[in-house]
Structure 1
């Protein structure tokens, strides 16, 4: 089963996304900030880090950079209402898919499925 670490500071959005991904068959661990996600990335094996970009303490870009160091196999997808934030020229963002809010849950699930098409077809 694909394991997703969701880092989203908005409680309602976090619950909404978690439920949708779990209903689609994914194992989801949800936290409300990057500083809580980092130890989980260090200790666990996650297939996907799904992170908001704008969060307190550690933003999603920094979290993704740290993820690439501690868990290089983990894929990254950003969800954000602030698409321009992901394009800051003073910081190097890791290779990641960006899904801009608002989006339909179906779109999120489809994007996650696309990221793992090869892995799922191998395991069938």
Structure 2
């Protein structure tokens, strides 16, 4: 089972995203900030880091940079509600997919499936 580390500071969004990804068949470990994600990346293997960009203590871009150092095989995907932040993320982490809020959960699952090269037509 593919493992996702979700870093999202907003509790309702974190719960919402975790549930959608778990329902789609992914194993999800969710944390409320980037600084909580780093120790997990150091001791566990994750296939994808799914991170909000704007978070307290450590933003998603800095977290993605740390992830690249600690676990270079882990793919990165950002979620954000700010267009200017999307542009910054695209420049600083060009290999990462950026999904802008608001989005439908189906779109999130489709993008995660794409990151892993999985067919998306099987899900409704």
Partner of 2:53: 53
Say whether residues 1:114 and 2:100 are aligned partners.
no
Partner of 1:23: 23
User: Could you list the runs of 5+ residues in structure 2 that have no partner in the other structure?
Assistant: 119-124
Q: Report runs of 4+ in structure 1 exceeding 3 Å deviation.
A: none
Q: In the alignment, what sits opposite 2:75?
A: 75
Q: Which blocks of at least 5 consecutive residues in structure 1 are unaligned?
A: 119-124
Structure 2 SS opposite 1:117: coil
* 1:14-66 alpha-carbon deviations (Å, 9 max, x no partner): 00000000000000000000000011011110000000000000000000000
1:88 aligned counterpart, secondary structure: helix
The Cα shift of 1:95 comes to: 1.8
* Preserved CA contact (<8 Å) 2:86 2:100: no
Q: Alignment length, in residue pairs?
A: 117
Q: Structure 1 length as normaliser, TM-score?
A: 0.90
Partner of 1:109: helix, strand, or coil? Answer: helix
Distance in 2 (CA, whole Å) between partners of 1:102 and 1:76 is: 19
- Root mean square deviation of aligned Cα: 1.5
State the alpha-carbon separation in 1 of the partners of residues 11 and 81 from structure 2: 15
Q: Secondary structure at the match of 1:29?
A: strand
Check conservation: 1:61, 1:86, Cα contact below 8 A.
no
Q: Give 1:102's aligned residue.
A: 102
